[in-house]
């Protein structure tokens, strides 16, 4: 899918064919390294996100749609016997370096090329969060680990509680240059 990175039109075409509704955001720069370019807000056609309509790069929108359709909802059905009705997240665009440090590598969040997923709400009223349920030895923990493994198929970098303490309450999903799955 590397081609999609450099081809905004192809990325939007694939999203459209999949029934994912997006709106283009105007390009802009902020500070010395933050940039909104090839960024869309997700408006519909996927499992609803909360807060609604996060701004993500088109490739992240595509990875998200593939993940929620081919990994998240199938895992919810087969492991928990329910549908995911809401995906709770902590955000996508944030103008900062990794871990909010003063120096060092620029975060993929600085270009909206990442999404931090916190948890899920289900059709049976259940809620499952990374913070509370990652270590669960029953079906809810099994569901979360299946969701993480599925994300590794759709995104480049996936970091969760097994990576470090900074990710104890969310799954960081991005389309950056590094292939990491933990």
What does the binding site for Zn ion look like in residue numbers (CB under 5 A)? 114, 116, 172
Largest CA distance in the chain: 47
Q: Which single residue is written with the structure tokens 């270590």?
A: 135
| C-alpha 97, offset from chain centre | 18
Give least dist CB 114 to Zn ion, A.
5
User: Are the C-beta atoms of 24 and 53 separated by less than 8 Å?
Assistant: no
- Please say which residue, 82 or 90, places its beta carbon nearer to Zn ion: 90
- Please say which residue, 91 or 139, places its beta carbon nearer to Zn ion: 91
Give least dist CB 54 to Zn ion, A.
12
Give least dist CB 109 to Zn ion, A.
6
User: Are the C-beta atoms of 108 and 59 separated by less than 8 Å?
Assistant: no
Strands (E), 37-176: 39-44, 49-50, 55-57, 84-91, 114-122, 127-129, 157-159, 171-174
Residue 126: other Cβ atoms inside 10 A: 13
- Please say which residue, 91 or 141, places its beta carbon nearer to Zn ion: 91
The CB-nearest residue to Zn ion is 172
- Please say which residue, 122 or 163, places its beta carbon nearer to Zn ion: 163
Give least dist CB 116 to Zn ion, A.
4
- Please say which residue, 12 or 93, places its beta carbon nearer to Zn ion: 93
Give least dist CB 82 to Zn ion, A.
27
Q: What CA–CA distances, in Å, run from 80 to 49, 83, 97, 127, 152?
A: 20, 8, 37, 11, 21
């Amino acid at each position: 899918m590397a081609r999609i990175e450099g081809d905004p039109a192809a990325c939007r075409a694939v999203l459209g064919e999949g029934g994912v509704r997006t709106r283009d955001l105007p390009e802009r720069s902020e500070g010395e390294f933050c940039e909104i370019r090839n960024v869309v807000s997700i408006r519909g056609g996927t499992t609803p996100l909360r807060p609604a309509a996060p701004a993500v790069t088109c490739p992240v929108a595509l990875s998200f749609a593939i993940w929620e359709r081919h990994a998240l909802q199938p895992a919810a059905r087969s492991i928990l016997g329910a549908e995911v009705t809401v995906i709770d997240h902590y955000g996508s665009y944030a103008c900062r370096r990794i871990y909010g440090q003063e120096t060092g590598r620029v975060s993929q969040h600085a270009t909206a090329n990442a999404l931090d997923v916190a948890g899920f709400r289900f059709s049976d009223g259940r809620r499952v969060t990374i913070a509370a349920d990652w270590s669960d030895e029953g079906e809810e923990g099994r569901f979360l680990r299946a969701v993480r493994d599925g994300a590794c198929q759709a995104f480049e970098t996936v970091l969760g509680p097994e990576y470090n303490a900074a990710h104890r309450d969310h799954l960081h999903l991005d389309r950056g240059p590094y292939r990491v799955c933990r």
